[in-house]
Amino acid sequence: MRRRRLLLGVAVALAVLVPLGWLWVTSLVPGSYAPMEMGYPDYGGGPAGSMDHEHHHGGTAVADLTGPRTGTPDVAVTLVARKETLTLASGERVDGYTLNGSSPGPLIRAREGDLVQVTLVNESVSGGTTLHWHGVEVPNAEDGVAGVTQDAVPVGGLHVYRFVAGQAGTYWYHSHQVSDAQVRGGLLGPLVITPRAAASVRDVVAVVHSYDRRRTIDGRTGQSRVDVPAGTRVRVRVVNTDDSLLRTGVTGAPYRVVAVDGRDVHGPAPVDGAGYRLPAGGRVDLEATVPSDGSALRLDAGGSATSLVIGPPGARVPSEQLGKDDVDLLTYGTPAPAGLETEHPDRRFEYRIGRRPGFLDGRPGLWWTINGHKYPDVPMFLVAEGDVVRMTISNGSGQPHPMHLHGHHALVLSRNGTAATGSPWWTDSLEVADGESYEIAFRADNPGVWMDHCHNLPHASQGLVTHLAYVGVTDSFRIGGDNHNDPE
């Protein structure tokens, strides 16, 4: 009787410990691995083509998918990255990262079609750094993702990025090496591409970033001012560089949402008092006219405590708060041809986000899953150049996720089964709330290996990352290894 009880006890102990041990061991991530070896291929119902997942011979190498190697750049910038204690524009001192001595880094301004050349010099960012051009459809080798499109630039090293400025719009750049810590520490800056014809609108760039957990606009805490004469039409380019959704909007006059993620909105109607929910990594251009009655405009960044007052010196600051309503891009604006035939896609993918307890690289916790799989055993979405791709992103993980696909813009087709009826809604940073499901479509027109991840960067470092890869493209870069590449 006792012996049977003991045997039962041992059996139960083994029944608990053996699966736990097995789960622990199989969760371990190798010290060095290629992104292409990660997980399992998902062809989305399309042909596997010449590529097979374990086979890396032939085809185009990521390292060869560069921008123009010759030609005199129209915009040439050198950015020196440092890890240091920095003084915010509003005076506070925080430990972080700077580019050319400041954070946010300098505004890079280019015109459509300009050849842009940025030389990144790493002076003192231990562990290495890179620059990723968030939202810009650069050639793959210029994408700046350590371990996927380049090696992290070590201290004393430099890397030259060259690309032709594409569609006019608001973008930003940031490190994609240990990006959770480096972006939080301020290794980032704005990038604006303007049409070749001069615009009749006054541009105001508002980079929203939290330093040491204090939210700033262009590095200033609290309320700051921009002097603009009364009657001026202003285009405020709001960039959310933080990890979670930012509620923004203009008070003091009606505003229009004229562009989202660097793509113009068709037929934007005036918005009076409603807010705009800007996903992490996303950008929105809000246009309004400074009133002529001696008052100013106020742009809020998550409440009026952090705001930008835009108007003549001494102008009265509007006291009203943003209302409860929010602009919904599913219905905002007027329809127009999107230039993408989405009825008969070449591939259909599912990107289903969940969460479950388990181990990630040996650490116990609650971890994100993609289509039921934990990092690094996640699907690798494979496409061929020219494919029209439909993807359903659904979220049942309990928390919202701002999803960012590198190198492409996607058209939002529907949310929770309700078709989009407003302006064509192109995005590169899409907020998918818990319980929501979005159907998006894009043309696979930029060969390479592209990250497709959550831009709540701690979530990405917890494994909410996968890749979109083109058949026939090979990638020799490795995560980990001698270069200590660690993109998240």
Q: Which is nearer to another protein, 19 or 45 (CB)?
A: 19
Site for another protein (CB under 8 A): which residue of 98, 130, 210, 466?
210
Sole window of 108-116, 224-232, 268-276, 394-402 interacting with another protein (rule: CB under 8 A): 394-402
Amino acid at 314: G
- Specify whether the CB–CB gap between 41 and 53 falls below 8 A: yes
355 scored as a contact of another protein (CB under 8 A): yes
3-state secondary structure 55-93: CCCCCEEHHHCCCCCCCCCCEEEEEEEEEEEEECCCCCE
Determine if 399 is a binding residue for another protein (CB under 8 A): yes
Nearest Cα to 171, choosing from 448, 336, 409?
409
What's the closest the beta carbon of residue 403 comes to another protein, in angstroms? 14
Task: Tally the C-alpha atoms within 13 A of residue 419's C-alpha that lie toward its C-beta.
Answer: 3
Distance (Å, whole) CA 413 – CA 341: 11
CA pair distance 85, 95, nearest whole angstrom: 4
Looking up tokens 């690309």 gives 163
Distances (CA, A) of 333 to 173, 274, 278: 28, 15, 17
- Binding residues for another protein, how many (CB under 8 A)? 35
Among 103, 140, 170, 221, binds another protein (CB under 8 A): 221
398: region left, alpha or beta (phi > 0 left; psi from -120 to 50 alpha): left
18 binds another protein, rule: CB under 8 A: no
Which residue lies nearer to another protein by CB, 294 or 398?
A: 398
Q: Does 445 bind another protein (CB under 8 A)?
A: no
Q: How far is the CB of 458 from another protein (least distance, A)?
A: 7
Among 244, 289, 371, 437, interactor with another protein by CB under 8 A:
244
448 contributes a contact to another protein by CB under 8 A: no
Q: Closest approach of Cβ 318 to another protein, in Å? A: 21
435 is a contact residue toward another protein (CB under 8 A): yes
| Residue with smaller CB distance to another protein, 362 or 398 | 398
Cβ within 8 Å of residue 372, ≥6 positions away: 352, 354
Query: 48 or 366: whose CB is closer to another protein?
Result: 366
Residue 16 within binding range of another protein, rule CB under 8 A: yes
Q: Measured from the CB atom, is 167 or 244 closer to another protein?
A: 244
Write down how long the chain is. Answer: 488
For residue 223, which phi and psi values (nearest 5 degrees)? -100, 130
In the list 341, 366, 372, 416, the residue contacting another protein (rule: CB under 8 A) is: 366
Minimum CB separation of residue 431 from another protein in Å reads 10
Sequence-distant (≥ 6) Cβ neighbours of residue 189 within 8 angstroms: 79, 99, 103, 104, 105, 106, 107, 108, 172, 173, 174, 207
- When binding is defined by CB under 8 A, the residue of 5, 69, 324, 344 that contacts another protein is 5
- Pair type for strands 214-217 and 202-211: antiparallel
Per CB under 8 A, does 213 bind another protein? yes
Residue 209 CB, nearest approach to another protein (Å): 10
Between 49 and 458, whose beta carbon lies closer to another protein? 458
The correct pick among 31, 313, 357, 417 for binding another protein (CB under 8 A) is 357
- 3 state DSSP class of 239: strand
Using CB under 8 A as the binding rule, whether residue 215 contacts another protein is answered as yes
Cis before 379 (ω within 30):
no
313 vs 407: CA distance, rounded Å: 41
Specify the residue, 272 or 434, whose C-beta has the smaller distance to another protein: 434
Sort 271 into a burial class: Cβ within 10 Å, 0-12 / 13-18 / 19+.
Answer: buried
- Where do we find the tokens 């005076």? 91
Q: How far is the CB of 398 from another protein (least distance, A)?
A: 4
> Considering only 229-237, 244-252, 324-332, 439-447, which stretch makes contact with another protein by CB under 8 A?
244-252
CB closer to another protein out of 130 and 221: 221
Q: Does 398 bind another protein (CB under 8 A)?
A: yes
Least separation in angstroms between CB 50 and another protein: 42
Is residue 456 a contact point for another protein (CB under 8 A)? Answer: yes
Contact between 298 and 307 under an 8 Å Cβ cutoff? The reply is yes
Q: By rule CB under 8 A, what string of x and - marks binding of each residue 283-302 to another protein? A: -------------------x
Q: Applying CB under 8 A, which residues contact another protein?
A: 2, 5-6, 8-9, 12-13, 16-17, 210, 213-215, 221, 242-246, 302, 305, 355, 357, 364-366, 397-400, 433-435, 456, 458
